[in-house]
Amino acid sequence: MKRIVVTGGCGFIGSNFVRMMHESHPDLVIANIDKLTYAGNAENLADLDASPRYQFRRGDICDREFVKGVLSEAPVDALLNFAAESHVDRSILDSGPFVQTNIVGTQVLLDACREFKVPRYVQISTDEVYGSLGSEGFFTEETPIAPNSPYSSSKAASDLLVRAYVHTFGFPAVITRCSNNYGPYQFPEKLLPLFISNAMEGKSLPVYGKGENIRDWIHVLDHCRGIEAALLKGRDGEVYNFGGRTEMTNIALTKLLLKLLDKPESLIRYVADRPGHDLRYAIDCTKAETELGWKPQVSFESGLQATIDWYQQHADWVQRIRSGAYQSYYERQYGQR
Ligand code: NAD
């Protein structure tokens, strides 16, 4: 591989993936297409700004001409689509941007990759497309899709488009579906960075309902390594699930965080449950383990402590997001273009 295009590389998982690939593939050129929505922070990859192997291209994946322009700059060996509207709560308030970016944007990328004969496409998806589990069982790649939120239904729709392009056109795509990620550079509206930052500032931690919903947690770098394995070894048309084999109720996680931060449980504030809140997600990642030779490497205990340490050491990063100052980084670094 000489050049790959990543979309959404200024977000949480995309920025971790770009950094990992930049480090581990010394000759690889990485073009990053990102619109810089509220969730995109060009500063997340500030350490790569000076690299001749990192090309930032600000733009919208729904903009056909723009996407084709990036693909036409030089041959592309793979495109990985991380760009998405990703916050369930926002999708409940307004599903419009989710339909636009997650579905229409994916269609634009698929068409452009077909036109430019890009030999590999990776769609970064989520376990939420499978819906909710009861107290038993796991999602496998064969589990029928049954999304419950506007976010997960828009992701499921984009997965189905990818599937249809594989089936109809022989398009060389794989789909990855992962459980809840944690780690550095996650936008502080999501549970873990929000709770860590609030607790550090002595603010309350809003827990939905009774906090009984169960999520499976995986360190973002384990997810990124899985995506890399799917990129290099995945079979066209296949879906690969990734998970951390770490199931936990939200309330247990909240109490664990408070304990690690040495803060009182009185900071917990129970709030009205999210409408349609899925009870439990749990992933069976046997296929990724056997076919791709992947397995999670970061233990939850050490990964969570390292994540807490990172947010404590990067309180200014959180502060710049909360104040909105992060949005001017692009203009300062790259000028108006
Ligand atoms: P994020 O919200 O942190 O980042 C999304 C990025 O996409 C941002 O940089 C944003 O500016 C960019 N973007 C949004 N709309 C765009 C558009 N129209 N054109 C170009 N760029 C656009 O999201 P994340 O948590 O890093 O998630 C990345 C992907 O992984 C998403 O597709 C998400 O569905 C999937 N995923 C996330 C998780 C998780 O736990 N965070 C788990 C499984 C799968």
H/E stretch holding 6 reads strand 3-7
Distance CA 106, CA 61 (A): 8
Pocket test for ligand 1, best of 6, 7, 13, 220 (most atoms within 8 A of CB): 13
Indicate whether 165 pLDDT > 90: yes
Q: Is 240 in a helix, a strand, or coil?
A: strand
The mean pLDDT of the chain is: 97
Which CATH number covers residue 9?
3.40.50.720
Neighbours of 295 (CB within 10 A): 15
Q: What is the pLDDT of residue 334?
A: 79
Average pLDDT over residues 318-322: 94
> Residue 231 is part of which domain span?
3-334
Tokens of 145: 């899709």
Ligand 1 centroid to Cα of residue 265, in Å, is: 31
Please report the ipTM that was assigned to this predicted complex.
0.99
For the chain, percent of residues with pLDDT exceeding 90: 97
Indicate the number of domains in the chain. 1
Neighbours of 336 (CB within 10 A): 5
Q: Is 29 in a helix, a strand, or coil?
A: strand
In the block, residue with structure tokens 């710049």: 320
Indicate whether 208 pLDDT > 60: yes
For the stretch 93-120, pLDDT in tens is 999 999 999 999 999 999 999 999 999 9
- In this structure, are residues 44 and 15 in contact, taking their beta carbons and an 8 Å threshold? yes
DSSP state of 283: B
Distance CA 298, CA 311 (A): 18
Pocket test for ligand 1, best of 6, 10, 12 (most atoms within 8 A of CB): 12
For the stretch 64-83, pLDDT in tens is 999 999 999 999 999 999 99
Non-local CB neighbours of 205 within 8 Å, separated by 6+ positions: 194, 195, 198, 199, 254, 257, 258, 267, 268, 269
Q: What's the pTM value of the predicted model, to 2 decimals?
A: 0.97
Tokens of 109: 């990328």
Ligand 1 centroid to Cα of residue 10, in Å, is: 9
Q: Which residue lies with its CA nearest to atom 41 of ligand 1?
A: 181
- Bridge partners, residue 213, by sequence: none
Q: What is the pLDDT of residue 337?
A: 44
- In this structure, are residues 109 and 79 in contact, taking their beta carbons and an 8 Å threshold? yes
For the stretch 234-287, pLDDT in tens is 999 999 999 999 999 999 999 999 999 999 999 999 999 999 999 999 999 999
- In this structure, are residues 148 and 274 in contact, taking their beta carbons and an 8 Å threshold? no
Beta strands 214-219 and 247-249: pairing type? antiparallel
Distance CA 300, CA 255 (A): 15
Neighbours of 192 (CB within 10 A): 21
